Amino acid sequence: MTSIILSALLPILFVAFLGWLAGRMALFGPQATTTLSTFVVRFALPLSLFLAAARTKPEQLTDARYALSLAIGLIGSYVLGLLLGRLVFKHDLRASALQGLSCSFPNMAYCGPPVLIAAVGAQGVLAVIVGNLIVTVILVPATMVLLQLAAPATGDKTESEWRTIARSLMGAVKQPLVWLPVLGAAFALTGLHLPALVDNSVDQIGQSAGGVALFTLGLMLSERRLRLDRDILANLALKNLLQPAILLGAALALKLEPTLAKEVFLTGVLPSATAASVLAQRYDAYVEQAAGTTAASTFFSIITIAGGLAIAATF
């Protein structure tokens, strides 16, 4: 079990540490985090998600109960995080949307495969594929719409609410982080395959998304003193403890067979992904709390992954 946890978390901690070290040594200028987060959000991450979606087999997306159980857990924890920010901590809409994403987006791409394969075998990667599609097709677009909706007003100050919502939707849809994963899912569902030359070309930049995002997280942490405030502690409880419980409850309620229930449950014990921290930096909202949530969730997942594997073994 120790080797599983190390293989899931050590690469994340190592790359984030390099970013933190570079920041402490002042090797980059003051705009480095903004520049790198823009690169991730505008180029590397959208292309990485597009490719992951496009490579999915159509039959992997047709198990409605399996997808629904993952959707309930991921979307449910997003809504809870959003409401937590708005109603409890009284954050504005931008910060609340990013809080919701911090509490709901597991680091499936990096931590998922070693944990899920160890628990259920190679088929465990299915949870990574379907879970990432739910996040990129539903949660990320919803977050982008809320970020656009809460953007500083421009133009006509008497603009109606419906026009504001329509403008926000259009602004979100134009973002590569929204339409590229949807395009990839469309490729998968129609059975189309990318030409090998295109696949390899896109993969070159897509592979950089995770490493650069983690390095950027380290830079962000080097600029701020990490502290466990009320926001981060609440996010930690929601992401690492409540989300797995919601996912397990959904899997049991929908009567998934034990192997599939394990996959769904173990998706929730993974730490928070770096995407929320990078988006927070890009939009200059909820930056310290998002970065702190990612760091705290990663460290605490040493316990939740071990506990999750022990619980899954009893199914």
| Domain containing residue 139: CATH number | 1.20.1530.20
CA 195 – CA 315 distance, rounded (Å): 42
Q: Which residue has the tokens 């899931």?
A: 8
End-to-end CA distance of the chain: 17
**pLDDT (tens digit, 9 = 90+) per residue, 96-152?**
999 999 999 998 877 777 788 778 876 776 787 788 888 877 898 889 888 888 766
Name the residue range of residue 14's domain.
2-153+163-312
| CA dihedral sign of residues 50, 56, 59, 64 | negative
Residue 58 within any structural domain of the chain: yes
Classify residue 306 as exposed, middle or buried by CB count within 10 Å of its CB (0-12, 13-18, 19+): middle
Name the pLDDT band for 289 (thresholds 50, 70, 90): very high
Residue 175 within any structural domain of the chain: yes
Considering the chain, what is the average pLDDT of its residues? 84
Residue 222 within any structural domain of the chain: yes
Q: Which residue has the tokens 């465990």?
A: 124
Residue 126 within any structural domain of the chain: yes
CA 234 – CA 155 distance, rounded (Å): 38
The predicted structure's pLDDT at residue 60 = 65
Residue 292 within any structural domain of the chain: yes
Residue 53 within any structural domain of the chain: yes
- DSSP of 196-224, one letter per residue? HHHHHHHHHHHTHHHHHHHHHHHHHHHTS
The number of folded domains in the chain is 1
- C-beta of residue 70 within 8 angstroms of C-beta of residue 131: yes
Look up residue 19 and give its amino acid: G
The predicted structure's pLDDT at residue 61 = 67
Residue 68 within any structural domain of the chain: yes
Instruction: Please count the other Cβ atoms lying within 10 Å of the Cβ belonging to residue 196.
Output: 8
Residue 158 within any structural domain of the chain: no
Name the pLDDT band for 92 (thresholds 50, 70, 90): very high
Name the pLDDT band for 207 (thresholds 50, 70, 90): confident
Q: Of the candidates 64, 121, 75, 65, which has an alpha carbon nearest to the alpha carbon of residue 100?
A: 75
DSSP code, position 60: G
